[in-house]
Amino acid sequence: MAGSTTDELRISRGELEALARTLDEAADRVLIDPRMLGPHDDAVGRADVVAELDDVVARQVARSRACADDLHHLGAFARTTADRMAECDGLLAVAAR
């Protein structure tokens, strides 16, 4: 990420958790239009399609949570790296005197 600063990588855990909650809420509100279910005339066929869609949404929410965790760890790593770089800069400045 040439030209990036650590500030561009910062995102709070609260923001990521809010995103996960938003996805959970969206998953709870998924509305299925019966016209979208295709030629299924029986309730069992429709229930199967709805169950499959529920599974897809649940997997997407789980992936989003995993991404949120990865981003949190990446942000922590970036902050730690920036702190270490600042320490090195300080040591180099002292050594240059």
Domains held by the chain: number = 1
Note if the pTM is more than 0.85. Answer: no
**Does residue 32 lie within any of the structural domains?**
yes
CA atoms within a 13 Å half-sphere pointing along the CA-CB vector of 50: 15
34-67 pLDDT, tens digit each: 566 566 556 666 777 778 888 888 888 888 888 7
> SS3 for 26?
helix
| DSSP single-letter state for residue 2 | T
**Does residue 7 lie within any of the structural domains?**
no
**Does residue 2 lie within any of the structural domains?**
no
Tokens 């299925």 label which residue?
Answer: 32
Say if residues 78 and 5 touch (Cβ distance below 8 Å): no
**Does residue 69 lie within any of the structural domains?**
yes
1-32 pLDDT, tens digit each: 445 444 455 666 677 677 777 776 776 666 65
- Greater confidence, 79 or 43? 79
**Does residue 82 lie within any of the structural domains?**
yes
Quick check: 84 pLDDT over 50? yes
User: What value, to the nearest 5°, has the Cα angle with vertex 94 and ends 91 and 97?
Assistant: 150
Between CA 76 and CA 67 the distance in angstroms is 14
**Does residue 1 lie within any of the structural domains?**
no
**Does residue 39 lie within any of the structural domains?**
yes
Q: Which domain holds residue 24?
A: 12-96
pLDDT of amino acid 52: 83
Between CA 68 and CA 74 the distance in angstroms is 10
**Does residue 6 lie within any of the structural domains?**
no
